[in-house]
Structure formats: C-alpha cells, structure tokens
Amino acid sequence: MKSWKIVNAKNSDGVIEEILIHENLIVRDFPQEVSPEIIDASGLTVMPGFVDLHTHLREPGREDAETVLTGSLAAVAGGFTAISAMPNTLPVADTAGVVEQVFRLGKSHALCDVFPIGAVTIGQKGSHLAELSAMNQSEAQVRIFSDDGHCVADPLVMRRALEYVKTFDGVIAQHAQDPRLTENAQMNEGAVSARLGLKGWPAVAEEAIIARDVLLAEHVDSRLHICHLTTAGGVEIIRRAKERGIKVTAEVTPHHLLLTDHSAESYDPVFKVNPPLRSEEDVLALRQGLADGTIDIIATDHAPHPNEAKDCEWSAAAFGMVGLETAFSIGYLTMVQSGLMSVKELVERMSGAPARIGKYAGHGSITIGAPANLVLIDLESSWVVERHLLHSKSKNTPFQGMELPAVVMKTFHNGALVYNRAHDKKQVRDGGKN
C-alpha cells in the first residue's frame, strides 16, 4: 500500500496541517526508506471521514435499488468512511447470518467500513425480539438495533429490547411513528396537505412515541437513539430528556434541514419521504436543535429506490430519498453558511459524534496512530446535482439541478485513496477546480 504525505491542508480550525499516512495509519514520521506520494492540498480542508448511522443498502434481496458496492461508492464520493446498513432487506437482517453477510460484503469491497444494524424484532414485525445477542456476538459485532421503517409500537417489546441491549451497551434506534395515527398517511398534516387533498401525518404521531420511549429509557437506564427527528415538539422533548440525564441521542437528516412540505405541491414523488417533510417552523427548530447540541448528529437516511417506485402517482410511490453524496453540502449550506455553527461543529455532528454513538473504533478523529480515515473538501467551490451522475444505483434525489457548496475532492479509508474527484468518471461541475 502507498504511503502518503498530505501538505498545505487546513484543518477545521483553519490551521495548516501536514498529515503522514503509512501502512493504513496516520503517523508522526516515516521510516527512512519510505518515499511517500505527496498530495498538495492547498485550498482544501481536511476532516475526519464522515460516519453515517442510517443508510439503506438494500442488499440482500433488493439489489435493483442498491447494493453494498454501489452504496459504498456513493458513500466515499460523499466523504463517508463508515456507514450503517439498515436491516430492512430481504431477508430482514434479524439473524447473525444476515448481518455477517452484509458485513463481509463491505469488507470485500474495502471502500468504507460497513456496519450492519440489526432488526429489533423478528421480521421487523414488532412482536418478538430478534437474535440481539447473537448479532452482537457475531463477526459483525452489532451494537445498534432498529426496525426502521417500522416503529416498535408495543411498549412492552420496546422495554424488553432496551433491557436486553443494556447488557452489552447496545442502543435501540427507534423509528418514531405511531402506526394508528399515521394509517395511509402521505405527507405532513397541515395546511398544505389539506389543500392538496393528501392524507396527513400529524407531528404528534412522532412526538408521542419519542415521549414514551425516553421515559422507558429512563426507567431501564439504557441507551435510546431517535431516528430522523422532524418536529419542533420532538426537539423539545429530546432537549428536556437530556436535561434530566436520560441516555437519549437523536439524528436529523439533511433533507429535513432544508426542505418543507411545500415541496409536495409539485406532486413529484421524489419529495415523498418517511417521516415526511414538515413545516418551515419545524425546519428552523431542527436547525437550532442541531446547533445547540440537542440533536447529536446528521444522518442521511439514504433510501434508494428503482425508477418505477418513484415514477408513478404520489399515493403509489415509495417513501425515501438518496442522500449520501449531498449530505455534507446540505449540512454546510443550512448550518455553516447560515451562521448557525462553525465548520468544526458540523464535522463533529457528521463524524465524531456518530462514531461515539455507534462505538465505531478508528473513526471520528484524525489522530496519530489511528487508521487514516479522512476526507479533503474544497469549501470554496460548488457543484450542481445531476441525478444521472450520482454513484448510487438509484437516482431519487430531491436536489436535482441545485447548485450546492462544498466539493468532496479525496476520501481516504484505512490509508487507501478510495475516492479521487480528479479521476472520477462521473465527475460533475466543481467550480473549475480538480
């Protein structure tokens, strides 16, 4: 494997750094006999590789939408060096065998670390706990469990799950959606849904589950993570729970930081997502919650679908958007360029904090002796999103045609250069810089 010497890169504090990479690791000095390849990173900012705790890779069973390989290609193009594969595959990742299959596929492609998330219940049906201990003790060493796409609605099942994962310091990642309050729901409940004649999804359907689960987590003294938070009321519940010392963390997606339910006025199913795009008031509350630390991380909820699942009428369309390749740019646009947080704080929300929640060793920082998982980004350039140029197998991006700031130039995973924009055959406009 090559050794690398990265010179003239700024860190997120704006200080020029020199980074040496040898035998997968960040080192202080090279052995005398080593002649590293030099990368002049003038004008670029070096950051620890991003970590996504919410990625849908679809393999096994739904390879028409995405595979571990194509999802990994999208990840490194977006600056991610670790992603977390959600369990809603076919078969569901509710056994040690399935999570090990996904884990080994990630290892074989060697583009980024792929950490499987195990299902909480068998078949994600919400009735009986899945093989939580077996998945944790498997080669994949699963620590995060979720029925994402399905809420663990039964409070007794949720309590038992929290009790079970506490034995190995695991975490339950809840998709907060009361099923009775959201039957046949198509979008956020409000003035826009009433005008469009689409069945509404009330904010209370999310907030009621969050409130219940933070109380259960307090009772059990176990770790709870709230997936894709979308409402102002949910932010306030999490804020108060943290003030009481409850072990709860939360994530927000890039699309919920930028888009509102007014996008549905186009009736374009690319804007149909679960949970739905909310009001402007909710978007502003999410941004503030992320800025003040109530919301711990940005997670993509990268949800690829084949064309036929989106190229249809709204009511028949699948929920979900792809997001790995646009995540940092949207975060930079909504949080840094808005003045709500610094680049360093954004990097913490996309790298350090998710690595700690998932307990992903070797990620989240640039440290001597640690694996070289890092990304070089041009914060002064912009690019235009073109769906046909995305690396994901699916093209259901809501940001088609948008000019976004911040261009991922190079991504290193375990010391290997796994993405180089200058050599990317799918390269999109980058403000004239290579």
The side-by-side arrangement of strands in the sheet containing 223-226 is 144-145, 171-174, 223-226, 248-252, 297-298
3 membership: H or E segment, kind and range: none
Give the up-direction half-sphere exposure of residue 217: CA atoms within 13 A in the CB hemisphere: 26
Q: For residue 13, how many other CB atoms are within 10 A of its CB?
A: 10
The residues, ordered by sequence, that sit 6+ positions from 293 with a Cβ below 8 Å of its Cβ are none
**What is the 8-class DSSP label of residue 295?**
S
Query: φ, ψ for residue 430 (rounded to 5)?
Result: -130, 30
Strand partners, 420: 410
Catalytic one among 52, 301, 378, 430? 301
The residues, ordered by sequence, that sit 6+ positions from 240 with a Cβ below 8 Å of its Cβ are none
Is-catalytic flag, 301?
A: yes
Give dist(CA 58, CA 83) in Å, integer: 13
99 membership: H or E segment, kind and range: helix 96-109
Are 408 and 328 contacting, i.e. CB atoms less than 8 angstroms apart? yes
Buried b (16+ CB within 10 A) or exposed e, 157-196: bbbbbbebbbeeebbbbbbbbbeebbeebbbbbbebbeee
Catalytic residues: 301
